Structure 1
Amino acid sequence: MAITLYSLGAAEEVTGSKHVLEVDGRSYLIDCGAFQGKRAEADRKNRDFGIDTDRIESVVLTHGHFDHCGLLPLLPKSGYKGTIYATPATRDISSLVMMDSARIQARDAEYLGKQAVKKGEKFTWQPLYTEQDAIAATGQIVSVSYQRPMWIGDGVQLEFYDAGHILGSAMAVIKIKQNGSERIIAYTGDLGRKGKPIIRDPATNLPAPDYLVLESTYGDRRHDGTEDAMKRLAEVVRRAVKTKGRILIPSFAIERTQELVYYFHMLTDRGEIPEIPIYVDSPMATNATTIFQVHPECYDEETHEAFIKHHKNPFGFNALHFTTSVDESKALNDMEGPLVIISADGMCEAGRIQHHLIHSIEDPNTTILIVGYMAEDTLGRRIRDREGEVKIHGEWFKLRAQVEAIDAFSAHADYQETIDWLKAIDTSRLKKIFLVHGEKDAQKVFSRHLADNGFTNVEIVRYGVSYDVE
């Protein structure tokens, strides 16, 4: 039984998760995510798929974030006719994300083409995929609920366990059974955190793995406590009320937006902040909130009580408004504060958030609130690092707005939370931990933290390097 694993993305970097498990020459693709970062580099990486689709036996999708599902439409486009396995909620969310990406690419091609004509330049860029490709990929997804074992190949069995990261997120536990022997390889996908609102905590009842492929996004950092973060969020709101300013929150449309709505609702109910207008300016976030409402199987007990037993809506309240049209979005820029605008894209690389930044980034009464991870070379990272000037849509803008960052809202476990999770699962058979989905420096620090806690056999996965699994 020859088993190897390698990564074609999220190896010594955070985005573009694409991992391959090879069993006796058959390839199983775990996640198929898009790279995010410098546009030219990301485009080049996303077009270099790295594996022929006729070699892929099955595809496993851990969750619906763009950096894990964003390249799935390239599979049917390249001739893949096999199955993509995902939880029911992940199927719905990833379909939404893929369609949104296809539409953004089509709009970008149209806009950039017109700009090239104006400048007399040749324009050859084409979208990676179309809406039809995204629809085809969704059609190949087979929904598998948590802890429902499914054979995905000869002697290869998949079982999903709740990762506690976003709605429907899963750890993929793969059992390889041949000739009376068994190997268990667990992929965490993105590992979530205990005590987050709406969704359940990461599962600890998975079978003891022989090998663990572990994310390491926050391998060198600790998150703020939730109550401390709530206090800081309240302070930001009160300051905006005092200055009649606006709060811009670049947020992932899925999970983070719904979670922020939950926290604003809680602060208003407690009387810690006045009721001010809150606008969710993202069609995808609006649609994602609808998906949340139809997947109560993913709720934690608190949300289940509020939403199912008492018919309270944890995703909306009187001060909350969802914008849909472009005209409604543009109108927000002419409104007087105080107000809150939650808008996608989470790393500020695309979407309506860029237009809001153009209108408000030079206003000292604006607060840009960073509530999630910002990958290297993204606009969000440059804002978080408080660079004096940033480029948006080809124009330079002075960063005069206030910038606040609250890490407690991250959906990724920090290094201590990850170690606590490791200590809670059965590691009696664990031979090695493979680190993926983290920047190089963070992974080095995380390796030391792991060693200090008794996990000494740790390998930082490098792009394209094959690792034998005994």
Structure 2
Amino acid sequence: MKIAFHGAARTVTGSKHLITLNNNTQILLDCGLFQGMGRVTDKLNDYFGFDATKVTYLVLSHAHIDHCGLLPKLVADGFSGTIFCTSATMDLARILMMDSAKIQMQDAEFSNRHLREGEEMEEALYTDQDVNKTLSQMKIVEYEEEFEIDQYITLRFTDAGHILGSAAVHLTIREDNRSTRITFSGDVGRYGDLLLKSPQQFDQADYILMESTYGDSLHKDLDPIEELLLDVINQTCKVKKGKVIIPAFAVGRTQELLYALNGLELKGKLPDVSYYVDSPLSSKATEILKNHPEVYNNGVKEVLKVDHDILAFKGLRFIESVEESKALNQDPRPCVIISASGMAEAGRVRHHIRNNISNHKNTILMVGYCEPNSLGGQLIAGKKVVEIFRDEYDVKAEVQSIKSMSAHGDYEDLLHFLSCQNPEKVKQVFLVHGEYDIQQNFATRLKDAGFKHIAIPEYHQEFELD
């Protein structure tokens, strides 16, 4: 048996991990878009590193676009097998992949209208027809169900606590008269998340593919999110009379922001300005979350006893049309605009940043992880000039970051997630979904916790499993 790492290898995005059995059955764990990798991003998304037609099954951990965003291209390139995921992941993946196709086509059209001499036309990676075909190949497997994919492979999902529907993937593979247990963490959520339940424990594994995005960071002991939001909004909207632009992933982060702002209203502290969620996708994702109240943690359930809609408050408006979105940039009044994507790499938020970045009255508030080369990553790093849609802009707006707002667990959460394992029985831990220096630091923590065999795979590197 072999495993190869074709994405999220010494980087965070582009999740793709390919298991090949002795009988040539191939199981692909996730098929996500690379994001925020600078000029090489398009090339990375064009090349899988394997033959799509030879992949037998695909198991999807969750619906974030860096985990599901290349599924339609995989199908378009010849993958005809079944895609296994939870029901909520299917609901979210449907809207996320459709939105991704739409954004790619719109961005390609925008870029092609502004082609410079000698430049080639841009093309979208896939179309909405490819997305529909992908959806027809998806099959629901619920949490904790022991599902036999075939006579050699059993699948089980446990709740990873990352976003709605997110799962850790557990495979039992039977070959050569023995069983091998492989666990893929997907993205691990936080213990004590604002909205969701904590990650579940799981059975002993032989091999673990472990995410490490925040493998050397601690989120705790930071100021409460509500108070940080309140300070930024007051200073920008009330004092400077400017706008707060918040790039936020449509799934997870946007809903956490709405929940925190709703909490300010319940306490009578919410500033009296207009709040816009400028992302049709975010609106749909919010409704999907409302339809799954079973995922809420006990704290949220207590709030629901006094507030039937925890994601709504005075002054909130969801923006749908492109015309309404453009009108926000012509409106000089102070406001808060929450818009996808979280790394500011695509979608309407890039237009909002472009129109507001050179005004000192405004604030761009980052609320999650950004690849260093992404627009969001460059802003967090303090760059004074950034490129947006091929033009350069001076960064005069204030850039702030709320580091405690992350759907990813910190190193204590990750170690907690692994605490149900006997380290002596784990043959190998493969660290994925992290920057290399962070992974090296987390590997040291894992060794201190008793895990002896730890590998940090390179891009396209293949390992033979004992």
Q: Does the alignment reach a TM-score above 0.5?
A: yes
- The residue aligned with 2:258 is 261
The 2-side partners of 1:224 and 1:246 are apart by 28
The separation in 2 between residues aligned to 1:201 and 1:289, in whole angstroms, is: 20
Contact 1:434 1:460 in 2 (8 A): yes
Structure 2 partner of 1:125: 122
Offset, 1:192: 0.7
- Rate the CA distance shift 1:125–1:395 in 2: closer, same or farther, 3 A: closer
Q: Deviations over 1:62-96 (max 9, x none)?
A: 01111100100022212222100011111111111
Q: Which residue of 2 aligns with 1:455?
A: 451
Q: Which residue of 2 aligns with 1:66?
A: 65
Mark the CA change 1:123 to 1:462 in structure 2 (over 3 Å): closer, same or farther.
closer
Partner residue in 1 for 2:17: 19
1:6 aligns with 2:18: no
Equivalent residue number for residue 413 of structure 1: 409
Change (3 A) 1:124 1:332: closer
Pairing partner for 2:419 from 413, 420, 423: 423
- Identity fraction in percent: 39
Residues 84 and 140 in structure 2, CA contact (< 8 A), matched pair in contact too:
yes
Deviation of the 1:234 alpha carbon = 2.0
User: Does 159-168 or 288-297 show the bigger shift?
Assistant: 288-297
Pair 275,145 (structure 1): closer, same or farther in 2 beyond 3 Å: farther
Q: Is the 8 A contact 1:369 1:405 kept in 2?
A: yes
Do structure 1's residue 389 and structure 2's residue 388 form an aligned pair? no
CA contact (8 A) 2:204 2:421 kept: yes
Q: Which amino acid aligns with 1:203?
A: Q
Look up the equivalent residue of 1:201 and give its one-letter code. Answer: S
Q: Which amino acid aligns with 1:108?
A: D
Would you say 1:278 and 2:278 are equivalent positions? no
The Cα offsets for residues 191-220 of structure 1, whole Å up to 9 and x where unpaired, read as: 11011122211111x111111100011112
Contact 1:194 1:201 in 2 (8 A): yes
Q: Per-residue deviation at 1:372?
A: 0.6
- Are the aligned partners of 2:265 and 2:313 in contact in 1 as well (CA < 8 Å)? no
For 1:404 and 1:341, how far apart are their aligned partners in 2? 15
Partner of 1:75: 74
Contact 2:230 2:271 (8 Å CA) reproduced: no
> How far did 1:121 drift?
4.2
Structure 1 residue matching 2:224: 3-state secondary structure: helix
Q: Does 1:154 align with 2:155?
A: no
**Which of 148, 173, 183 is the aligned partner of 1:186?**
183
Quick one: which amino acid aligns to residue 139 of structure 2? V
Residues in 1 aligned to 2:148 and 2:345: alpha-carbon distance in whole angstroms: 38
- CA gap of 1:235–1:114, structure 2 versus 1, over 3 A, is closer
Given that 2:5 and 2:457 are in contact with CA atoms closer than 8 Å, whether structure 1 keeps it comes out as: yes
1:14-413 matches, within 5 Å, as 14-24=12-22, 25-38=24-37, 40-116=39-115, 119-121=116-118, 123-178=120-175, 181-204=178-201, 206-225=202-221, 227-240=223-236, 241-304=238-301, 306-307=303-304, 312-413=308-409
- Letter in structure 2 aligned against 1:338: P
Determine helix, strand or coil for the equivalent of 1:15: coil
Measure the CA separation in 2 of the matches of 1:96 and 1:17: 19
Deviation at 1:139, TM superposition (A): 1.2
Structure 1 residue 290 displacement after superposition: 1.4
Q: SS of 1:408's equivalent?
A: coil
**Helix, strand or coil for the counterpart of 2:50?**
coil
1:323 is displaced (CA, Å) by 0.5
SS at match of 1:79: coil
Q: Which range moved further: 102-111 or 11-20?
A: 102-111
Structure 1: gaps spanning 5 or more residues: none
Q: Offset at 1:228?
A: 3.4
* Equivalent pair of 1:384/1:403 in contact (CA under 8 Å): yes
Q: Which amino acid aligns with 1:195?
A: G
Q: Number of residues paired by the alignment?
A: 464
Tell me the distance in 2 between the aligned counterparts of 1:333 and 1:192: 35
Most deviating of 293-302 and 100-109? 293-302
* Matched residue type, 1:32: C
After TM superposition, what 4+ stretches of structure 1 lie above 6 angstroms from structure 2? none
The alpha-carbon deviation at position 5 of structure 1 amounts to 1.2
Structure 2 Cα separation of the partners of residues 34 and 8 of structure 1: 11
The 8 Å contact of residues 261 and 316 in structure 1, kept in 2 or not, is answered as: yes
Gaps of 5+ in 2: none
CA RMSD of aligned residues (A): 1.9
TM-score (norm 2): 0.95
In structure 2, distance between residues paired with 1:405 and 1:58 = 39
Alpha-carbon offset, residue 270 of structure 1: 1.6
1:111-159: CA deviation from partner (whole Å, max 9, x where unpaired): 233323xx45463432211110011111111111100111123311110
What is the deviation of 1:451?
Answer: 1.8
Tell me, in whole angstroms, the C-alpha distance in 2 between the residues paired with 1:224 and 1:94.
Answer: 30
1:237–1:273 contact (8 Å) kept in structure 2: no
CA contact (8 A) 1:193 1:201 kept: yes
CA contact (8 A) 1:238 1:273 kept: no
What is the CA–CA distance in structure 2 between the aligned matches of 1:336 and 1:467, rounded to whole Å?
57
* Residues 1:467 and 2:459 aligned together: no
What is the identity, as a one-letter code, of the residue corresponding to 1:10?
A: A
Answer yes or no: is the 8 Å Cα contact 1:165–1:411 preserved in 2: yes
Cα distance change, pair 448–122 in 1 and its aligned pair in 2 (3 A): closer
Mean CA deviation greater in 191-200 or 330-339: 330-339
User: Counterpart of 1:20 in structure 2: which amino acid?
Assistant: L
Report the CA distance shift for 1:414/1:109 in structure 2 as closer, same or farther (over 3 A). Answer: same
Deviates most, 186-195 or 420-429: 420-429
The residue type equivalent to 1:31 in the other structure is D
